[in-house]
Chain A
Amino acid sequence: MAGLKRVLTLRTVVATSAGLTLASSSFVAAAQVAYLVAGDSAWLAILVGGLLCFAAAACFSELNGLYPSAAGIRLYFARAFSDRLGLTTALLYMAVVMSIFGVESYVLAAALSQVVPGVPPIVWIVGMVAVVGVLNIRGVKLAGGFQDAVTYLLMFSLVLLGVLALARGGFHLHAPLTPGPLGNFGQAVALGIFLYIGFEWVTPLAEEVTKIPQISRGMMVALGILAVVYAVFTVAMSNVLPHSELTSTAAPQIVFARRVFGFGGAVWMLAMSVGASITTFNAGLIGISRFAYASARELALPPFLSRVSRWFTPWAAIVTVCVLGLAIAAAVLYTGRYRVLIDLGAAVECLVYALAGLAVWSLRRREPAKDRPYLAGRSLLLPLVTTVVFLALGVSIFLTDQSALFYLLSGLLVTFLYVVYVVPALRRRYGRRPGARRRASRADVAENR
């Protein structure tokens, strides 16, 4: 590829991949993983989840090498299966990510309320969404250096706090190698996938690097670091807090930090949570609003979402995402049912990873001659194992949370019907008429001559 003026470094690729993944809601999922297994053996489930994500990352790397595009799964699945399936999956995935946006603001508000009581959580939620929304509409970009610094500081702090907490207890771990019943362990691994949600969102950066394999390396390094960070921190949480307390709060990290390090520890952890949420919010809002804008431009979503501000930002898409995110956060706040969205997020992620494995298989069959800078193994073993394992993990989530299955099936049905009936209607109504072409066709030119 011809040299571009600006290219991203591996450091930024790693920070972006890890930064998108590290969020305040990750602590809730980590606490749930620790709750599902016996003693302090959560690290086993987290590491196994991380290893499985390596397999998914290998599949994403192959797909990204084939199609280095910000369109991501929308493009991979359209090429591998059909345009309808690509659009259905992408729309469903974005809807679920928007739900996680709501969960994230709820969890952060819960953390803030623990340290700064007296301010109702809804005030924090509205304030955060409004600030991030306005910054995005104005096109104010978090500096890459700031994002990198927050991510690396966060990961370092989590390991440090975890090790210090374990040191206070003399590194006395309870049953670190015996996770208990296999069924529970399987569910813990499946839920552990939530901890890594978003690592693959780094693939849009493929357009900003000169060497595509750098994205693969960045994803793998980020997964490795995250696995260690989560494992240390979760074991420390489960070591310090009784299992019953792990899932009784939406901000277990603050309870843990306060228990071990007092009010100062809680404030430090709160600062880390705010940093994690800001980077996740910002990246999430950018990603979803740009997807909504692009979908509106191809008339897969209503065209009003393609309206842009004087700062060259898709303001209608940003406002719509903020309003929907706010509505979800308010619903979560009102019902207190945030765990079902975490389960749903983990299940949809499992589904997407399973489809990524299938897409690798399908594209090797459909486009065997196309250049592949990265291969997820020479044989089809890894992609097919990825598909089978992630499907099984998705099913294991539904075994304990039928409401997540209900939401997923409802979402799939609505999205599929939308793609089959509404999208063609939008295209018929707003699509450009062939007669309105500005470029003269060859036939016109020949006729004029």
Chain B
Amino acid sequence: MATGEEIAQSLQAFCESYNSNERVKQMNRDWHRIVLIQPEDLTEAFTLSLVGEELSYRSGTADDPDLKVVAPSDVLADMFWGDLSPTGPYMDGTLKAFGSEEDLVRLDIIILLIWGG
């Protein structure tokens, strides 16, 4: 189990890597989304916002997200650090994602482009 602080650190690292990756930002320039990150074993939640070209995160929920990702805190921290491909936990049912399938695929691809395979 990861702590909320660890998830926040992973999201921080993810956002920094995204914002310094000009290629990914360019590819993503028309994609503006709010993603709710919900660790299933913690009470706190996080919100990733891609507005303009900047990706940011904050602690707390979003009322009207485009995507919702629910998984054990460990999985989420590893995933946003790039230590774990989201596909594995998604395929074995550990990670649940709600929203348009295209958006889910794009989120996975962003993680792939930022952290590699």
Contact B13 A438 (CB under 8 A): yes
Given the complex, which residues of B lie within 8 Å of A1, measured CB to CB? Answer: 68, 98
Assess whether A204 is interfacial by the CB under 8 Å rule.
yes
Contact A70 B101 (CB under 8 A): yes
Interface string of B101-117 (1 = CB under 8 A from A): 11011101100110101
Assess whether B97 is interfacial by the CB under 8 Å rule.
yes
Assess whether B56 is interfacial by the CB under 8 Å rule.
no
Residue count of chain A within 8 Å CB distance of chain B: 39
Contact B91 A78 (CB under 8 A): yes
Interface string of A413-444 (1 = CB under 8 A from B): 00000000000000000101000111100000
Given the complex, which residues of B lie within 8 Å of A207, measured CB to CB? Answer: 97-101, 104
Contact A430 B101 (CB under 8 A): no
Given the complex, which residues of B lie within 8 Å of A70, measured CB to CB? Answer: 101, 104
Given the complex, which residues of B lie within 8 Å of A4, measured CB to CB? Answer: 64-68, 98-99
Nearest CB in chain B: distance from A434 CB, A: 9
Rounded to whole angstroms, the CA-CA distance of A324 and B50 in the bound complex is 37
Contact A303 B117 (CB under 8 A): yes
Residue among A67, A314, A439 making CB contact with B81, cutoff 8 Å: A439
Nearest CB in chain B: distance from A154 CB, A: 24
Rounded to whole angstroms, the CA-CA distance of A71 and B105 in the bound complex is 12
Residue of B nearest to A206 (CB): B98
Residue among B67, B83, B87, B109 making CB contact with A438, cutoff 8 Å: B83
Residue of A nearest to B67 (CB): A4
Rounded to whole angstroms, the CA-CA distance of A401 and B2 in the bound complex is 55
Interface string of A283-315 (1 = CB under 8 A from B): 000000010011001100001001010111010
Chief secondary structure at chain A's binding surface = loop
Contact A297 B61 (CB under 8 A): no
Given the complex, which residues of B lie within 8 Å of A67, measured CB to CB? Answer: 93
Contact B117 A430 (CB under 8 A): yes
Contact B109 A298 (CB under 8 A): no
Contact B87 A294 (CB under 8 A): yes
Q: A69-B96, A290-B105 are in contact. Are A2 and B61 (CB under 8 A)?
A: yes
Contact B101 A208 (CB under 8 A): yes
Q: A3-B64, A310-B27, A438-B81 are in contact. Are A75 and B91 (CB under 8 A)?
A: yes
Q: A5-B64, A83-B92, A308-B112 are in contact. Are A141 and B77 (CB under 8 A)?
A: no
Assess whether B53 is interfacial by the CB under 8 Å rule.
no
Residue of A nearest to B74 (CB): A439
Given the complex, which residues of A lie within 8 Å of B109, measured CB to CB? Answer: 308, 312
Contact B68 A2 (CB under 8 A): yes
Nearest CB in chain B: distance from A115 CB, A: 35
Contact B99 A208 (CB under 8 A): yes
Among B96, B97, B105: residue with most chain A CB under 10 A? B105
Assess whether B19 is interfacial by the CB under 8 Å rule.
no
Contact A78 B92 (CB under 8 A): yes
Contact A71 B91 (CB under 8 A): yes
Contact B91 A74 (CB under 8 A): yes
Residue among B77, B85, B96 making CB contact with A298, cutoff 8 Å: B85
Residue of B nearest to A303 (CB): B117
Rounded to whole angstroms, the CA-CA distance of A371 and B64 in the bound complex is 25
Q: List, sorted by A's number, 27 A–B pairs whose CB atoms are closer than 8 Å.
A: A1-B98, A2-B61, A2-B62, A3-B63, A4-B98, A67-B93, A68-B98, A71-B90, A75-B91, A75-B93, A79-B92, A79-B93, A141-B102, A208-B98, A290-B101, A297-B85, A297-B87, A297-B88, A306-B117, A310-B27, A311-B27, A312-B31, A312-B109, A314-B105, A438-B82, A439-B9, A439-B78
A-B residue pairs, 6 tightest by C-beta = A297-B87, A439-B81, A438-B81, A298-B87, A312-B106, A437-B83
Residues in chain B within 8 A of chain A (CB atoms): 6, 9-10, 13, 27-28, 31, 34, 36, 61-68, 77-78, 81-83, 85, 87-88, 90-93, 96-102, 104-106, 108-109, 112-113, 115, 117
